[in-house]
Structure 1
Amino acid sequence: MAEEQNQLEIKFRLIDGSDIGPKSFSAATSVATLKESILTQWPKDKDNAPRTVKDVKLISAGRILENNRTVGECWSPLYDIPGGVTTMHVVVQPPSLEKEKKAASKSKQNKCVCVIL
């Protein structure tokens, strides 16, 4: 019975409104494990598929969840609905895009504006 109470039903809402899940997870499951589950279940017909766990951001109750935390640590009393399914939002943000933006802004900053007459 106690093990049943530690099981949480979670579905993952993608940016286009489609869902992955619901699936049952233990309260001791890490957020990184949730992200790995998302990677394995990602729909093949979606264009913006994440490549690694670092590309996935999970948002629950308005907070971005950290990889080293467990589901139980991130849980809110608002989720304590018997038989309820919690929805977490999934954002795909590849780190390569961030690096490209930083490189582009650095190259703009380093441009010489000298005028030779």
Structure 2
Amino acid sequence: MSGVQEQVEIKFRLLDGSDIGPETYSIATSVATLKESILAQWPKDKENGPRTINDITLINAGRILENSRTLEECRSSVCDLSGVTAMHVVVRLPPSERGTEKRARKKPKGNKCGCFIM
């Protein structure tokens, strides 16, 4: 190579079908850096947005991308196509915030045994 970093154009698809991007990134960019970019560009009008990069999961070509890896290491045949690569963004809320509405509606469990001996 002549010292020029290869670039890839990526858009991030959110669960509601809207997109962040597309933007151009170097293939040396880490997945953690991509998540920081998503966090900075997250639409303010959307509820339950991520607070940290650990709340975000990136999926490309059916594979979950690890924070410590670069785009080059995560490269699949999908990234090699010309045009824009779409990555899916999944936001996972911390366990303390997940299902709080469900728990409030459920009756507290008592010490009950569900076994029957016949």
Shared fold, TM over 0.5: yes
The share of aligned pairs that are identical, in percent, is 61
2:94 corresponds to which letter in structure 1?
P
2:4 is aligned to 3
Confirm or deny: 8 A CA contact 2:30 2:69 kept in the other structure: yes
1:24 is aligned to 24
Is residue 2:95 matched to residue 1:96?
Answer: yes
Mean CA deviation greater in 90-99 or 20-29:
90-99
Residue 99 of structure 1 and its aligned partner are, at CA, apart by: 7.7
Q: How does 1:80-91 map to 2 (within 5 A)?
A: 80-82=80-82, 84-91=83-90
TM-score, normalization: structure 1? 0.78
Evaluate the alpha carbon distance shift between residue 10 and residue 2 of structure 1 in structure 2; reply closer, same or farther with a 3 A threshold. farther
The CA RMSD measured in Å over matched residues stands at 2.3
> Larger helix proportion, structure 1 or 2?
1
Residue 100 of structure 1 and its aligned partner are, at CA, apart by: 7.2
Confirm or deny: 8 A CA contact 1:54 1:95 kept in the other structure: no
Gaps of 5+ in 2: 114-118
TM-score, normalization: structure 2? 0.78
**What is the alpha-carbon distance in structure 2 between the residues aligned to residue 80 and residue 96 of structure 1?**
37
Gaps of 5+ in 1: none
2:19 corresponds to which letter in structure 1?
D
1:30 corresponds to which letter in structure 2?
S
Confirm or deny: 8 A CA contact 1:55 1:92 kept in the other structure: yes
Runs of 4+ more than 2 Å apart:
1-4, 95-101, 111-114
* 1:1-30 CA distance string (max 9 Å, x none): 7626x1110000000000000001111110
Confirm or deny: 8 A CA contact 2:10 2:21 kept in the other structure: yes
1:53 corresponds to which letter in structure 2?
I
